[in-house]
């Protein structure tokens, strides 16, 4: 917290200090590479992934597509939340509206209307602009109305707009919008006369959209409008004193965000070839927020990085061997970066190993059945941890549940302790965490992924509210 | 006329539940200016605690203790348990962010809501659980007046809600704690300078608000029977609507708002369409916000420069 009366330059003095070692070198390199070169690198990475890594594997293509989709969505949210500082909790409605808009003009949805028997099957080149333009008008209208309110009240109204959209898509005109069954059998995109049928094809579409969008947004960011957004975000009263039309600028940001979301929605609908109202739930909204917040609100690169991290983490958590790499990798990284100096780190690591072996031996001596179960991880982890973690045979769920609660309580205790006590408490906590992971969390990967997302949000907000790539905003009082 | 009165009764009963949850929302907003999205999930946790209390005492068909004792036990345990959970959430998730930008605690609240929902899913599974309250609170005990049924659960809900709301009003208006809570709500820094223990006041506020949500969870389980890990979201959203309609930060507003939302919901589902009842509730909120953003009892926020 900046003390009252300290100005921004003084408050940021720490950031300007020269750093030595690999951090300093990295920072030097970071300062040398220009923005457009970085965009080129992003495009190159996406090209290499699509061309050489995917190699016909549908899962890889789908993961790549999801990453790009969430990156595009986070970019759109970044305009509203990161740049204009409007807490838009109804963003998901525009994503959904774009998807439904595309679906209506590319399926049999209008089949029961007298003028268009057999449905409206516009080519994508026509239906995407119609859907996006429709959502843009919707965005301006909702923005004009909602932006009469400020701060929390704006967040509340947009939250309800989002909920109302999901309810409406589910209940209004089930003959046309499909109700809970959704719309399916959508027509895909075409290039010339060839249809894009594969997931990889949509991956390439998304790559092009993402790279072009990043370029445009970068130009927008440094334009007069972009500067006006940031001025309004930091102090709307001062901005209006500087003759910035505050309301117009806010509505513009809101509508721009809506347009990006709608564009993402059309691609999503075409790739899925179906839309369901459950695709546009509050859960998805929170995921998009997780991407933006983790990467750093206000930064284009941050939004994209957040999309990559969140989507890839979710994907990894769904496979037992990958999730084990992720879990133990994060564990080791956290220990290595947080425990200093090195001899303490070595002592803690050795203690964790010794503690586990001892606990395993003691429990095994008391009851053989208590250690007879096998760890939940797959591959060599399972073999390596067989004589380390305590997994009983028989009732793994109850045991795992108790461990889960114990692990949460222990983590909370560790956070509260200081100094040498914390180091000592870390040892059993890590061990209980590992046991809990092996006995319970790997069994329900879907739920585990959701819990991890929640934990990521909380930890990021507490440790680094500006996200991975964001710049810290000093609030001058 | 029968249908009208029956709908009125249902509306008042659901309205009381919404009001109890809304009070917690409003209190927390009053002292912290934080939209606590995890509040609805606390209500869900309360419902689960009540369910396990029934199982603990032999299940709904073969209770080993008298029914009134069970009801009191359920409400006290759920109130205490959820209250302590609320205090723990405040302590570990929100307190470190008290001076952070406004968006940070909001995002944290979303994260807490995620963790609560999915932890319950992990621990107890995704199956819908049933209180099966009619087994020990039979409908034969209900009151019939001229074709209108008021069953015992509904009487319990209205009675307990009235007692709790009255108690809260007295607590806020008459006690030292209530005074310090109002002081913290109106200006935290000034309250701190005058020697009020702000941390303790906020923790107490969370405790009371969460405990009321927990009791509301138990009573909704008795009334509606089915509970699962996702009931918190929609109930929280509606209670939140109630708090906003009444004027967020205002306690009488939350009570009136709860009744308004409950009545709107029951009348729209019996006279218009049950499919559209949620949509109608949300539409009411959006219209209220646009006409009178501060709600029925709220005061418009002053802009400090």
Tell me the pLDDT tens digit for each residue of A383-438.
778 788 888 776 667 888 888 888 888 888 888 788 888 888 999 999 998 888 88
Partners of residue B278 in chain A, C-beta under 8 Å: 163, 167
- Paired tokens of B81: 């348990």
Q: If we measure between CA atoms, which residue out of A72, A265, A272, A64 comes closest to residue A188? A: A272
Q: By CB neighbour count within 10 A (0-12 exposed, 13-18 middle, 19+ buried), where does B70 fall?
A: buried
pLDDT above 70: residue A375: yes
Give the separation between CA A306 and CA A300, rounded to whole angstroms: 10
Beta partners for residue A194, in sequence order: A191
User: How high is the pLDDT of residue A7?
Assistant: 64
Give the separation between CA B9 and CA B25, rounded to whole angstroms: 25
Count Cα atoms within 13 angstroms, Cβ side, for A235. Answer: 13
Q: Does this model's pTM top 0.80?
A: yes
Average pLDDT, chain A: 84
Beta partners for residue A120, in sequence order: A107
**Element housing A194 (H / E):** strand A194-195
For A16, other C-beta atoms within 10 Å of its C-beta total: 7
pLDDT confidence tier of residue B63, bands split at 50, 70 and 90: confident
Give the separation between CA A202 and CA A197, rounded to whole angstroms: 8
CB-nearest partner of A168 from B101, B122, B279: B279
Cβ contact B283–A440 (<8 Å): no
pLDDT above 90: residue A294: no
CB-nearest partner of A451 from B35, B107, B115: B115
- Paired tokens of A434: 């590992």
User: How high is the pLDDT of residue A2?
Assistant: 45
Average pLDDT, chain B: 87
Are the C-beta atoms of A419 and A466 separated by less than 8 Å? Answer: no
Provide the sign of the torsion angle of the four alpha carbons B265, B266, B269, B271, taken in this order: negative
First to last CA, chain A: 11
Partners of residue B119 in chain A, C-beta under 8 Å: 404, 408, 451
> What is the mean predicted confidence (pLDDT) over A48-53?
89
Cβ contact B92–A148 (<8 Å): no
Beta strand segments in A83-186, E: 106-107, 120-121, 183-184
CB-nearest partner of A87 from B106, B122, B276: B106
Cβ contact B289–A149 (<8 Å): yes
B222-261 CB burial, b ≥16 within 10 A, e <16: bbbbebbbbbbbebbbbbbbbbbbbbbbbbebbbbbbbbb
For A269, other C-beta atoms within 10 Å of its C-beta total: 29
User: How high is the pLDDT of residue B273?
Assistant: 78
Give me Rg for the CA atoms of chain B. Answer: 19
> What is the mean predicted confidence (pLDDT) over A36-53?
90
Q: What's phi and psi for B219, nearest 5 deg?
A: -70, -35
CB-nearest partner of A447 from B118, B275, B282: B118
CB-nearest partner of B293 from A153, A172, A451: A153
pLDDT above 70: residue A118: no
Cβ contact A412–B92 (<8 Å): yes
Cβ contact A157–B278 (<8 Å): no
**pLDDT tens profile B103-116:** 788 888 988 998 99
Partners of residue A455 in chain B, C-beta under 8 Å: 111, 115
Lowest mean pLDDT among A156-160, B12-16, B179-183, B203-207: A156-160
Are the C-beta atoms of A438 and A391 separated by less than 8 Å? Answer: yes
Cβ contact A412–B244 (<8 Å): no
Q: If we measure between CA atoms, which residue out of A291, A254, A222 comes closest to residue A470? A: A291
Please give the DSSP secondary-structure letter assigned to residue A275: E
- Paired tokens of A128: 């995407």
User: How high is the pLDDT of residue B1?
Assistant: 78
Beta partners for residue B145, in sequence order: B148
Q: By CB neighbour count within 10 A (0-12 exposed, 13-18 middle, 19+ buried), where does B275 fall?
A: middle
Q: Which residue has the tokens 């218009």?
A: B272
**pLDDT tens profile A276-293:** 988 898 889 988 998 998
pLDDT above 60: residue A117: no
**pLDDT tens profile B21-54:** 999 889 988 888 888 889 999 999 999 999 999 9
pLDDT confidence tier of residue A17, bands split at 50, 70 and 90: low
Q: What's phi and psi for B145, nearest 5 deg?
A: -120, 110
User: How high is the pLDDT of residue A1?
Assistant: 41
How many angstroms separate the Cα of B110 from the Cα of each of A172, A455, B147? 28, 10, 45
Q: Which of the residue ranges A103-107, A150-154, A268-272, A337-341 has the most confident prediction, judged by mean pLDDT? A: A268-272
Question: What one-character-per-residue DSSP string does B249-273 give?
Answer: T-HHHHHHHHHHHHHHHHHIIIII-
Q: CA of A238: which chain B residue's CA is closest?
A: B305
How many angstroms separate the Cα of A415 from the Cα of each of A141, A333, A351, B69? 47, 17, 19, 39
More confident residue, A84 or A126: A84
Partners of residue B105 in chain A, C-beta under 8 Å: 461
Partners of residue B117 in chain A, C-beta under 8 Å: 450
Cβ contact B115–A455 (<8 Å): yes
Cβ contact A167–B278 (<8 Å): yes
Site from B257, B286, B298 to mutate, A interface, most A CB atoms within 10 angstroms: B286
> What is the mean predicted confidence (pLDDT) over B264-293?
82
User: How high is the pLDDT of residue A330?
Assistant: 87
Q: If we measure between CA atoms, which residue out of B12, B16, B4, B2 comes closest to residue B163? A: B16
pLDDT confidence tier of residue B234, bands split at 50, 70 and 90: confident
B95-100: long-range contacts at Cβ-Cβ below 8 A with a sequence spacing of 24 or more? B95/B199, B95/B202, B96/A462, B97/A461, B97/A462, B97/A465, B98/B32, B99/A1, B100/A461, B100/A465
Site from A85, A461, A473 to mutate, B interface, most B CB atoms within 10 angstroms: A461
Cβ contact A160–B93 (<8 Å): no
Question: What one-character-per-residue DSSP string does A78-105 give?
Answer: IIIIIIS----TTHHHHHHHHHHHHHHH
Q: CA of B294: which chain A residue's CA is closest?
A: A153
Percent of chain A as helix, strand, coil, to the nearest 5: 75, 5, 25
- Paired tokens of B129: 């659980």
Separation in Å, CA of B240 to nearest CA in chain A: 9
Question: Three-state SS for A49?
Answer: helix
Cβ contact B122–A87 (<8 Å): no
**Element housing B19 (H / E):** helix B2-32
Site from A163, A405, A412 to mutate, B interface, most B CB atoms within 10 angstroms: A163
User: How high is the pLDDT of residue A477?
Assistant: 44
Partners of residue A451 in chain B, C-beta under 8 Å: 114-115, 118-119, 122
What is the share, in percent, of chain B residues with pLDDT greater than 90?
41
pLDDT above 80: residue B207: yes
**pLDDT tens profile B221-230:** 998 888 998 8
pLDDT above 60: residue A3: no
Separation in Å, CA of B111 to nearest CA in chain A: 4
CB-nearest partner of B101 from A152, A153, A473: A473
Cβ contact B285–A462 (<8 Å): no
**pLDDT tens profile A204-262:** 999 999 999 999 999 999 899 999 999 998 888 899 999 999 999 999 999 999 999 99
Cβ contact A156–B275 (<8 Å): no
Q: What's phi and psi for B269, nearest 5 deg?
A: -80, -25
Q: CA of A154: which chain B residue's CA is closest?
A: B289
Are the C-beta atoms of B87 and B81 separated by less than 8 Å? Answer: no
Beta strand segments in A258-375, E: 274-275
Site from A86, A396, A458, A473 to mutate, B interface, most B CB atoms within 10 angstroms: A458
């Amino acid at each position: 917290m900046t003390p009252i009366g300290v100005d921004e330059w003084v408050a940021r003095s720490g950031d300007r200090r020269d750093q030595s070692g690999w951090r300093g070198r990295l920072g030097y390199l970071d300062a040398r590479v220009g923005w457009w070169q970085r965009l080129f690198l992003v495009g190159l990475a996406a090209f290499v992934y699509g061309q050489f890594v995917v190699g016909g594997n549908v899962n890889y293509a789908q993961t790549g597509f999801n990453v790009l989709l969430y990156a595009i969505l986070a970019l759109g949210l970044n305009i509203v939340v990161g740049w204009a500082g409007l807490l838009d909790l109804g963003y998901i409605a525009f994503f959904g509206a774009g998807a439904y808009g595309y679906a209506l003009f590319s399926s049999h949805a209008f089949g029961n209307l007298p003028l268009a028997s057999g449905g409206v099957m516009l080519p994508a080149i026509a239906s995407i602009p119609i859907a996006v333009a429709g959502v843009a008008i919707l965005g301006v209208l909702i923005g004009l109305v909602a932006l009469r309110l400020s701060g929390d009240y704006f967040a509340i109204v947009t939250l309800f707009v989002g909920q109302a959209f999901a309810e409406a898509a589910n209940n209004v005109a089930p003959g046309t919008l499909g109700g809970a069954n959704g719309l399916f059998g959508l027509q895909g995109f075409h290039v010339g006369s060839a249809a894009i049928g594969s997931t990889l094809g949509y991956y390439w579409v998304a790559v092009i959209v993402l790279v072009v969008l990043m370029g445009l947004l970068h130009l927008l960011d440094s334009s007069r409008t972009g500067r006006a957004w940031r001025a309004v975000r930091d102090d709307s009263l001062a901005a209006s004193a500087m003759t910035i039309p505050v309301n117009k600028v806010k509505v513009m940001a809101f509508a721009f965000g809506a347009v990006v979301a709608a564009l993402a929605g059309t691609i999503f609908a075409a790739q899925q070839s179906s839309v369901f109202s459950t695709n546009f739930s509050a859960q998805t909204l929170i995921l998009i927020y997780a991407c933006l917040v983790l990467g750093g609100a206000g930064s284009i690169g941050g939004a994209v990085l957040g999309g990559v991290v969140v989507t890839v983490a979710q994907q990894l958590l769904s496979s037992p061997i990958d999730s084990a790499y992720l879990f133990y990798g994060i564990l080791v990284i956290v220990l290595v970066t947080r425990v200093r100096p090195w001899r303490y780190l070595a002592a803690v690591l050795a203690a964790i190993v010794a503690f586990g072996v001892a606990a395993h031996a003691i429990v095994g001596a008391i009851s053989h059945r208590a250690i007879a179960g096998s760890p939940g991880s797959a591959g060599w982890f399972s073999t390596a941890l067989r004589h380390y973690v305590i997994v009983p045979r028989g009732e793994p769920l109850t045991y795992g549940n108790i461990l889960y609660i114990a692990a949460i309580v222990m983590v909370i205790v560790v956070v509260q302790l200081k100094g040498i006590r914390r180091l000592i408490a870390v040892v059993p906590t890590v061990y209980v965490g590992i046991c809990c992971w092996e006995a319970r969390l790997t069994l329900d990967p879907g739920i585990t992924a959701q819990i991890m997302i929640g934990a990521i949000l909380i930890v990021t907000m507490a440790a680094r509210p500006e996200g991975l790539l964001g710049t810290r905003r000093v609030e001058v009082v | 006329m029968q249908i009208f009165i029956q709908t009125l009764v249902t509306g008042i009963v659901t309205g009381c539940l919404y009001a109890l949850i809304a009070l917690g929302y409003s209190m927390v907003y009053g002292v912290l200016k934080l939209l606590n999205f995890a509040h609805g999930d606390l209500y869900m946790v309360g419902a689960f605690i009540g369910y396990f209390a029934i199982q603990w005492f032999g299940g709904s068909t073969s209770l080993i203790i008298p029914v009134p004792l069970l009801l009191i036990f359920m409400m006290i345990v759920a109130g205490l348990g959820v209250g302590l959970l609320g205090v723990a959430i405040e302590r570990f998730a929100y307190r470190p962010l008290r001076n952070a930008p406004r968006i940070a605690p909001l995002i944290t609240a979303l994260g807490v809501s995620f963790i609560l929902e999915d932890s319950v899913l992990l621990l107890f599974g995704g199956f819908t659980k049933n209180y099966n309250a009619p087994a020990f609170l039979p409908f034969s005990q209900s009151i019939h007046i001229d074709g209108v049924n008021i069953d015992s659960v509904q009487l319990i809900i209205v009675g307990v809600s009235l007692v709790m709301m009255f108690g809260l009003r007295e607590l806020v208006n008459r006690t030292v704690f209530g005074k310090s809570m109002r002081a913290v709500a109106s200006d935290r820094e000034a309250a701190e300078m005058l020697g009020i223990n702000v941390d303790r006041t906020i923790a107490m506020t969370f405790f009371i608000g969460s405990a009321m949500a927990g009791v509301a969870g138990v009573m909704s389980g008795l009334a509606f029977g089915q509970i699962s890990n996702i009931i918190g979201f929609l109930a929280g959203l509606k209670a939140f609507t109630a708090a906003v309609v009444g004027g967020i930060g205002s306690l009488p507003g939350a009570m009136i708002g709860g009744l308004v939302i409950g009545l709107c919901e029951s009348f729209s589902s019996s006279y218009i369409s049950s499919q559209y009842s949620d949509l109608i509730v949300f539409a009411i909120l959006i219209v209220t916000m646009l006409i009178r953003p501060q709600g029925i009892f709220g005061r418009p926020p002053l802009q400090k420069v």
